[in-house]
Amino acid sequence: MSEIVVTANPKAPNEISFEQRERDLNELERKRLKEIKKSPFTNFYQVNKDSSNYLRSCLKENPRALELLLFIFDHMDKYNAVVCSYKVFQEALGVGQATVARAIKYLKDNGFLYVYKSGSSNVYVANNDLVWNSWGTNLEYCEFPANIVLSKSEQEEQVKVRNKRIQTVQIKEKK
């Protein structure tokens, strides 16, 4: 004869203990977070439709500046900020330093981009009236825990070892 073990004896079919309810809620939250990671909407930035005409004008007036701006959009953090050198822009876009300087000047002069100094580094911040990389209600905060984009060619030999936990971006080689 087999023994039957009863772990709960609810008075009603949908009555459960506090502990079981807490476990169920935790499991539901874990599943919800797992589903969010699968969502195509977790890797996005928002473009303000009212400002899209500025992007079109940038495309007509200075296509290289728009290319640089889109590179910044692709690498910015949830505060619209990214830290990287001119060398990174040069290698990523396959252009020279003068082209990068002209593009950044155009973007700054036309309000697409703000450039802040942090020591000898520049923090590039996309105008949040144009684009935002977080929820639309998260516009008032500005911490600058920026994504930092480094160029392999700028590093000393001993730090060129690739760390598997660091995301890398393949830069096309200049010919």
> What are the pLDDT digits (tens) for 67-105?
999 999 988 888 888 888 899 999 999 999 999 999 999
Q: Which residues contact 122 (CB under 8 A, 6 or more apart)?
A: 83, 84, 85, 115, 116
- Higher-confidence position of 155 and 107: 107
b/e map of 74-101 (b: 16 or more CB within 10 Å)? ebbbebbbbbbbbebbbbbbebeeebbe
Q: Which of 101, 93, 149 is nearest to 123 (CA)?
A: 149
Cβ contact 69:112 at 8 Å: yes
Query: Is residue 157 over pLDDT 80?
Result: no
pTM, 2 dp: 0.60
Tell me the Cα Rg of the chain: 24
Tell me what pLDDT residue 146 has.
56
- Ordered by where they begin, the domains of the chain are 46-159 (1.10.10.10)
> CA end-to-end span of the chain, whole Å?
81
